[in-house]
Structure 1
Amino acid sequence: MTASSSSLSRRRFHALGASALAWPVLASAQEGAAAYPSRPVTLMVPYQAGGGTDALARLIALKLADSLKRPFVVENKGGAGGIIGTSAVAKAKPDGYTLIVGLATSLLANQYLYAKLPYDPNKDLAMVYRLAQGLQVLAVKPSLPVKNGTELLAYIKANKGKLSYGSYGQGSTPHLWGAYLSHLTDGDMAHVAYKGEAPMIQDFLGGQIDMAWVSLATGKQHMEAGKLKPIGVNAPMKAQGLPNVPTLKDAGLTDPVFQLFGWLALAAPAKTPKDIQEKLAAAIREAMKDPEVQRKIVDMGFIPVLDSGPDKFAAEYVAERPKWAELVKVSGAKLD
């Protein structure tokens, strides 16, 4: 055998050896995806227990456990506007056993709100399924002489510097929308930030603030009693619980920013195998067909998303990024 043919044989041997070694790895990955999940899965909620995100996560965890025959355990890791829990998932092993149910703020808007984040949601997270649209109602105190969005815009313009709006925290979606409304009308409205929705509602009912975005779950009873006046629903459709209240668009607030809705979603570490993401999405999609699941989500004050998945949700996420960036920029909100 010549030196050149010997060298060629060695190259072929090494190539075949490398290929042979790759087969078990590939087969193992495929078997792992097919058998997923083979042990309990952690579903992280980056907020304290008891809120709407936590309630939705627990409902989804039960349905995934039923469908995939393994426990899905909800773990609450609150703090820093959702950053602590979200960061833990972004840095977790991408094997499908650590997932997160988060909000549009924690999964998207925080990158524009905070000067520095310990993770990059665009690189460190994979969007698996948009679970539900957030549903909030723009309401005003009953004494404000407006009946719809068009009249509200005119009233804010005519009363520059005299009005206030509340929110349940600096950088929350009600803060961002209120700041944009003030910017749009050149209204110079004062922002009053509360530590949660409950104290905000208390002051709102007492007439201490003029307007606010409130959740359906918290605000519905007060609107029905005439203690708050609803202007429109910040959602793509009317709320089942408030059938006589129009969407903000139909109420006259037609600016595209007011068609930007909050949402809740399931995400995973970025390199989680795509077939595992698809398996999770398929199980959620099947669960969303159940009228009882839909009813429970509506009762929480959300709108269930019946058809989502990794590719569809990722495309929507990319399309929404510049809109959230603009909203945060206009609001002037910046957090350390």
Structure 2
Amino acid sequence: MHSTHSRRQFLAQAAAGGAALTLGPAVFAQSDWPKQPIKLIVPYAAGGANDVTLRLVSKHVSEKLGQPIVIDNRPGAGGVVGTSVIAKAAPDGYTIGVGATSTLIATPLTNPQSTVDVTKDLVFVSLLAAAPMVLAVNTSVPVNSAKDLPKYLRDNKGKLNYGSMAVGHFGHVVIKELSDLYGAAMVHSPYKGEAPLVQDLVGGQIQMAMVTPPGIRGMAEAGRVKLLAATGTKRIKVFPNVPTFAEQGFDDPVLKMYAGWIGIIAPAGTPAAAVKRLEAEYAAAIHDPEVNQKLGEIGMEPIGANAETFAATYARERPVWRDLLVKAGVEVRS
């Protein structure tokens, strides 16, 4: 009898707790959140395209929320340092962070220092933008569209060289995939950054490379390289005449992916109402015409998708990236 009473008491408490949990977000939504500045943890150094994107978009969100969004750059260990700070922060709506393909997928797969469990320690808030890349070839390559590439690759087995910005970088694994698909046995040369990569592409030391729109724009406009195709699902703003791989009949999921994306994340347990408000304001900021234009100019593709789409994108791309890294000879963790 005592145990029955205890069980009833437990169920009553659980029900009351459930009611409190249900009420929590509603009460939170009607409160004066945010009533203090919000800290945005960025897991890499200031100055890159991702950093520029965040500052631009967060300025608009800050104005809507009526509180400053303070950007705190925490670079180190390929994003491990900053991502750990985000995961361990108090889930009170006043610390949010940035998640990118590199910090949420590539680094956890390849860096033993990474201890964050993305799906347990973090929540997805808003997928802001993606970074497309273009396949550029040296002007001596007798191909003017990606459609003609398979034949050229097959006909020149073992004769071609390609470069990338690093081993395991998107530019490395995508061309490795093309090389494998068409039996080209191309030789890979990793570079320390995009500038020397583009220099050797123009000079003919390598025949092709995946490059960023801002990194190749000058050379493309001067006719020093040819652009054959763009990754992702739609044409790039700065190169409207360059069709995507998909448009040219390539069905490989890798070629439909962007080189990377960037979004807003928060520590697990952050109040749902804060997540919803942030999700809505960040999406609205991305669709602002001025922001849209500036993102296009720095080679980013505006997305402005909700938390659900962000989570689905992560879930869909993680296994694809894992396979790509394995194929490229990069040691990955389980």
Aligned counterpart for 1:181 among listed residues 178, 181, 186: 178
Equivalent residue runs for 1:1-336 within 5 Å:
31-33=27-29, 34-115=31-112, 117-261=114-258, 262-306=260-304, 308-334=305-331
CA apart distance, 1:103:
2.0
Letter in 2 for 1:311: E
- C-alpha distance 187-64 of structure 1, shift in aligned 2 (>3 A): same
Larger radius of gyration: 1
Task: Quote the Cα distance in structure 1 between the aligned partners of 2:96 and 2:281.
Answer: 14
For residues 71-108 of structure 1, give each alpha carbon's deviation from its aligned partner in whole angstroms, at most 9, with x where no partner exists. Answer: 11112222322222222212222222222223212122
Task: Quote the Cα distance in structure 2 between the aligned partners of 1:28 and 1:311.
Answer: 21
Letter in 2 for 1:123: K
What TM-score do the two structures reach when normalised by structure 2? 0.88
Task: Quote the Cα distance in structure 1 between the aligned partners of 2:49 and 2:317.
Answer: 23
CA apart distance, 1:230:
0.2
For residues 255-286 of structure 1, give each alpha carbon's deviation from its aligned partner in whole angstroms, at most 9, with x where no partner exists. Answer: 22211222111111122222211110111122
For residues 6-45 of structure 1, give each alpha carbon's deviation from its aligned partner in whole angstroms, at most 9, with x where no partner exists. Answer: x97x999999899889988987765445432221112122
Q: Is the 2:326–2:332 contact (alpha carbons within 8 Å) kept by the matching residues of 1? A: no
Q: Is the 2:128–2:283 contact (alpha carbons within 8 Å) kept by the matching residues of 1? A: no
CA apart distance, 1:233:
0.9
Q: Is the 2:109–2:332 contact (alpha carbons within 8 Å) kept by the matching residues of 1? A: no
What TM-score do the two structures reach when normalised by structure 1? 0.87
CA apart distance, 1:194:
1.9
Higher mean alpha-carbon deviation, 236-245 vs 14-23, is at 14-23
Task: Quote the Cα distance in structure 1 between the aligned partners of 2:53 and 2:104.
Answer: 16
Higher mean alpha-carbon deviation, 62-71 vs 286-295, is at 286-295
- C-alpha distance 70-189 of structure 1, shift in aligned 2 (>3 A): same
- C-alpha distance 140-97 of structure 1, shift in aligned 2 (>3 A): same
CA apart distance, 1:115:
4.7
- C-alpha distance 188-309 of structure 1, shift in aligned 2 (>3 A): same
Identity %: 38
For residues 189-226 of structure 1, give each alpha carbon's deviation from its aligned partner in whole angstroms, at most 9, with x where no partner exists. Answer: 22222222222222222222211111111211211111
- C-alpha distance 185-310 of structure 1, shift in aligned 2 (>3 A): same
Task: Quote the Cα distance in structure 2 between the aligned partners of 1:254 and 1:25.
Answer: 45
Q: Is the 1:140–1:211 contact (alpha carbons within 8 Å) kept by the matching residues of 2? A: yes
Q: Is the 1:53–1:264 contact (alpha carbons within 8 Å) kept by the matching residues of 2? A: yes
Structure 2 residue runs of 5 or longer lacking an equivalent are none
CA apart distance, 1:315:
2.4
Q: Is the 1:105–1:172 contact (alpha carbons within 8 Å) kept by the matching residues of 2? A: no
Pairwise CA RMSD: 2.8
Q: Is the 2:57–2:286 contact (alpha carbons within 8 Å) kept by the matching residues of 1? A: no
Letter in 1 for 2:290: E
Letter in 2 for 1:304: P
Task: Quote the Cα distance in structure 1 between the aligned partners of 2:15 and 2:289.
Answer: 50
Q: Is the 2:163–2:208 contact (alpha carbons within 8 Å) kept by the matching residues of 1? A: yes
Q: Is the 1:171–1:334 contact (alpha carbons within 8 Å) kept by the matching residues of 2? A: no
Task: Quote the Cα distance in structure 2 between the aligned partners of 1:238 and 1:25.
Answer: 45
Structure 1 residue runs of 5 or longer lacking an equivalent are none
- C-alpha distance 183-12 of structure 1, shift in aligned 2 (>3 A): closer
CA apart distance, 1:177:
1.1
Tell me, what secondary structure is at the counterpart of 2:237?
A: coil
Tell me, what secondary structure is at the counterpart of 2:124?
A: strand
Task: Quote the Cα distance in structure 2 between the aligned partners of 1:22 and 1:183.
Answer: 54
Letter in 2 for 1:99: I
Q: Is the 1:115–1:334 contact (alpha carbons within 8 Å) kept by the matching residues of 2? A: no
Task: Quote the Cα distance in structure 2 between the aligned partners of 1:16 and 1:238.
Answer: 57
Task: Quote the Cα distance in structure 1 between the aligned partners of 2:187 and 2:115.
Answer: 32
Q: Is the 1:149–1:252 contact (alpha carbons within 8 Å) kept by the matching residues of 2? A: no
